[in-house]
Amino acid sequence: MTNSQEKNSAAPQTLVESAVNDLIKYIRENHLKVGDPILSERELSEKLGVSRTVVREAFKVLAAMHIIEVGAGRRARVRKMEGSVIALMMSQAVHTEQMSTQQVWDARRTVEARSVELAAIHRTQQDADKLLQLVNTMRDSEDDPILMTQTDLAFHSTIAKASRNPLYPILVSSLTSAMIEFYPKGWRTLSDKAEHDAMVNRHQKIADAIVKQDREQAVIAMAEHFNATILKIIDNGLT
């Protein structure tokens, strides 16, 4: 029996899984980069010894995993790395009680401690200006939890991008998305202006340390922020 016959005698799902692995191997072995085209369905069908239907299903799997992008009338291409699949997985884990909000926060604390340190080293003037602007927006948005949430997310995203490590924006975004529903609730639990101002001031300290490129103070300020936030989560039963 030939290799092709052996493949086609397997269960359909196994064929698709095999084709997915073969396609990933093909991308790596041919050193394809973001935006580079992949062989057509016909070419891959011949190369892998499977039907075009199997290749098409493998394309769908890889597209769902955001490894490739497919579009009508054009060849599939290697897709840029992003974290929506990881975010969905983590969000589902929280909602199905496989992990808690506190555990996600704990993981974020570790990631952001390093992220803020690198941001203090590598930040540009544009990064610094944006962080200060975001803090000002937070300060002026006491009565708008939705705007506060959006600004808070943008603040941490800006720090992650300023780290100049492309993995940190994905990790921060994914971990944040897992508990996105908490954010407006969290801001609403700040009982008075003093609590709100204290939270904003902690963000201000982080921004100021990054602006000054003081990596040690940036890490300390981020730790203080997470300590206060996690205590607030516990106090309000937002687990």
Q: Which residue ranges in the chain fall short of pLDDT 70?
A: 1-13, 181-191, 233-239
Tell me the C-alpha to C-alpha distance, in Å, between residue 49 and each of 18, 44, 126, 216: 11, 8, 52, 57
Per CATH, the homologous superfamily of domain 84-235 is: GntR ligand-binding domain-like (1.20.120.530)
3-state secondary structure of 214: coil
pLDDT at residue number 20: 95
Instruction: Supply the DSSP string of 150-210, one letter for each residue.
Output: HHHHHHHHHHHHHTT-THHHHHHHHHHHTTTTHHHHHHHT--SHHHHHHHHHHHHHHHHHH
Angle in degrees, 0-180, between the axes of helices 167-177 and 145-162, rounded to the nearest 10? 160
The Cα 91–Cα 225 span in angstroms is 23
Closest CA to 67 of 100, 103, 109, 20: 20
Burial (CB < 10 A; 0-12, 13-18, 19+), residue 80, is exposed
Do 3-78 and 84-235 share a fold?
no
Domain-by-domain residue ranges, the chain? 3-78, 84-235
pLDDT at residue number 191: 59
The Cα 163–Cα 159 span in angstroms is 6
The Cα 140–Cα 78 span in angstroms is 42
Q: At 185, which amino acid appears? A: K
Fold entry, domain 3-78? Arc Repressor Mutant, subunit A (1.10.10)
3-state secondary structure of 37: strand
pLDDT at residue number 6: 44
pLDDT at residue number 85: 85
3-state secondary structure of 43: helix
Taking only the tens place, the pLDDT of each residue in 24-73 is 999 999 999 999 999 999 999 999 999 999 999 999 999 999 999 998 77
